[in-house]
């Protein structure tokens, strides 16, 4: 689809807004980017090791690895709207169940492992695949605006909900409040806003979007494996940094109020990057952008190790890194592989990212516990090296296969 007035039509705007709200109250924020606020209170209540508490979020990541290819297939088959609206109430119920966590670590693990299963349709693919068909030349900006929801949630949930409720009541009450927001705000907004094309538009879009590689042919592309490796390395580092930055700074003497502000700073960096990167990648080669933010993430790791008082700067840089990742991934899949297997390709790479996350979320606190002084420094230096390796890999990505404006009549033969 070329860039026309239809790209700013009311359904396109509503769908982008609905995706933004859904992602703000989705599992990417609630089960990943804001969980560091719970680690200390859970550790204090039950007396478990920090690595054992954090392992629940590694399990979340492992379950995403299993579920994300299934999400891709379901979204490709049934469409994003149906999958998303079914998942929202199930996700809310799974969060509410965590309120009842007993002093049994295996039940604790089981309840968190249910979250990504219940929220199957709510990982970014479901929303981004709803947005993508409405845009072409403005695709990066549209994805950035939708993905900004993750920044909105990461910015305001810790400041307005999680931090104050934990301080006044407990981590359990904070989880319950989040579950209520998901059910009573996210579901009605998404139900109203997330639009699917009319029958006539569907026919036109099928004609315009029926280009690209099959999943099997996509797997034969060197770029497929470069992206999988690059996002595995990013997952090992970025998500582990997000889950550990509050405990890390509490160890360095920061107060609860200061770390809540730090979480807000991180969320602001993520929010800014979602929109800014989305706009930039419409004009600048996207892997080059990923190289720059990965180097910034490496600098943040070093700053956390040698100068924790610069934590707000580090949090901003990590926010930029997380803010860029899935804007770039959603954009690159269309540019390298087209539409035919969009959901499956995204699901696989997204799952590989969280496979790396599972390793990093557990590994970073474990490395801390292996040091005599309970220091995060070894893990932070390792994360910096991994991010530099990812930056180098992104620098070698080739030119796009499908430039903006590509339509079906220039597609390779149907056997591809």
The whole-number average pLDDT for the span 154-165 is: 89
178 close to 95: Cβ distance less than 8 angstroms = yes
pLDDT score, position 274: 78
pLDDT score, position 99: 97
Closest CA to 390 of 343, 362, 367, 356: 356
Q: To 5 degrees, how large is the angle CA 292–CA 364–CA 178?
A: 85
The whole-number average pLDDT for the span 197-220 is: 69
pLDDT score, position 224: 95
56 close to 110: Cβ distance less than 8 angstroms = no
Residues in the chain: 416
Q: What is the mean pLDDT of the chain?
A: 85
Measured distance CA(152)–CA(381) in Å, rounded: 29
Alpha helices in 29-170 (DSSP H): 36-46, 50-78, 80-98, 105-118, 124-131, 139-156, 163-168
Q: Is a pLDDT exceeding 60 seen at residue 4? A: no
Separation of CA 175 from chain center? 19
One-character DSSP codes across 323-385: HHHHHHHHHHHHHHHBSTTHHHHHHHHHHHHHHHHHHHHHHHHHHHHTSTT--SHHHHHHHHH
Q: Which residue has the higher pLDDT, 107 or 148?
A: 107
Residues in a beta bridge with 19? none
Name residue, tokens 């060197």: 222
The whole-number average pLDDT for the span 46-66 is: 89
The whole-number average pLDDT for the span 2-24 is: 77
SS3 for 198?
coil
Percent of the chain surpassing pLDDT 90 = 42
pLDDT score, position 410: 43
117 close to 61: Cβ distance less than 8 angstroms = no
Q: What are the distances in angstroms from CA 395 to CA 263, 280, 293, 364?
A: 30, 17, 12, 27
The whole-number average pLDDT for the span 105-123 is: 94
pLDDT score, position 125: 79
- Band the pLDDT of 260: cuts 50, 70, 90: confident
Measured distance CA(279)–CA(293) in Å, rounded: 15
Query: What is the dotted CATH code of the domain comprising 8-402?
Result: 1.20.1250.20
Measured distance CA(346)–CA(341) in Å, rounded: 8
Least confident range from 18-22, 202-206, 273-277, 346-350: namely 202-206
Q: What are the distances in angstroms from CA 414 to CA 207, 211, 406, 410?
A: 13, 9, 16, 11
3-state helix, strand, coil in the chain (%, to 5): 80, 0, 20
Q: Is a pLDDT exceeding 90 seen at residue 398? A: yes
- Band the pLDDT of 404: cuts 50, 70, 90: low
Q: Is a pLDDT exceeding 90 seen at residue 119? A: yes
Least confident range from 95-99, 233-237, 316-320, 324-328: namely 324-328
Q: Is a pLDDT exceeding 80 seen at residue 406? A: no
Name residue, tokens 């034969």: 220
Name residue, tokens 């990417």: 28
Residues in a beta bridge with 212? 338
- Band the pLDDT of 176: cuts 50, 70, 90: very high
pLDDT score, position 206: 53
pLDDT score, position 191: 95
Q: Is a pLDDT exceeding 80 seen at residue 385? A: yes
pLDDT score, position 197: 67
């Amino acid at each position: 689809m070329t860039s026309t007035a239809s790209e700013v039509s009311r359904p396109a705007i509503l769908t982008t807004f609905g995706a933004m709200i859904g992602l703000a109250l989705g599992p990417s924020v609630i089960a990943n980017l804001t969980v560091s606020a719970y680690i200390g209170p859970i550790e204090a209540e039950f007396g478990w090791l920090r690595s054992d508490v954090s392992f629940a979020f590694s399990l979340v990541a492992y379950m995403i690895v299993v579920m994300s290819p299934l999400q891709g297939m379901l979204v490709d088959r049934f469409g994003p709207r149906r999958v998303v609206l079914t998942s929202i109430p199930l996700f809310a119920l799974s969060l509410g169940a965590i309120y009842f966590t007993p002093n049994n670590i295996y039940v604790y693990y089981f309840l968190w492992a249910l979250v990504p299963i219940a929220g199957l349709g709510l990982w970014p693919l479901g929303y981004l695949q709803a947005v993508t068909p409405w845009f072409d030349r403005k695709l990066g900006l549209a994805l950035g605006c939708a993905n900004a929801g993750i920044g909105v949630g990461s910015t305001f949930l810790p400041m307005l909900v999680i931090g104050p409720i934990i301080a006044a009541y407990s981590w359990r009450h904070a989880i319950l409040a989040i579950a209520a927001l998901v059910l009573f705000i996210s579901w009605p907004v998404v139900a109203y806003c997330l639009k699917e094309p009319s029958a006539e538009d569907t026919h036109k879009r099928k004609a315009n979007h029926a280009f690209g590689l099959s999943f099997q042919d996509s797997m034969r592309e060197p770029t497929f494996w470069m992206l999988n490796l690059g996002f595995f390395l990013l997952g090992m580092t970025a998500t582990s940094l997000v889950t550990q930055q509050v405990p890390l700074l509490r160890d360095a003497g920061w107060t609860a109020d200061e770390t809540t502000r730090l979480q807000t700073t991180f969320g602001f960096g993520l929010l800014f990057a979602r929109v800014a990167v989305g706009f930039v990648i419409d004009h600048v080669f996207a892997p080059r952008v990923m190289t720059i933010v990965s180097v910034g993430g490496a600098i943040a790791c070093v700053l956390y190790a040698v100068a924790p008082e610069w934590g707000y700067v580090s949090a901003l840089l990590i926010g930029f890194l997380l803010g860029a990742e899935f804007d770039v991934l959603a954009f690159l899949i269309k540019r390298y592989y087209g539409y035919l297997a969009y959901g499956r390709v995204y699901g696989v790479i997204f799952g590989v990212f969280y496979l790396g996350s599972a390793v990093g979320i557990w590994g970073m606190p474990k490395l801390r516990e292996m040091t005599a002084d309970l220091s995060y420094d070894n893990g932070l230096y390792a994360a910096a090296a991994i991010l530099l390796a990812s930056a180098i890999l992104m620098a070698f990505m080739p030119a796009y296969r499908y430039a903006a404006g590509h339509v079906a009549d220039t597609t390779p033969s149907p056997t591809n």
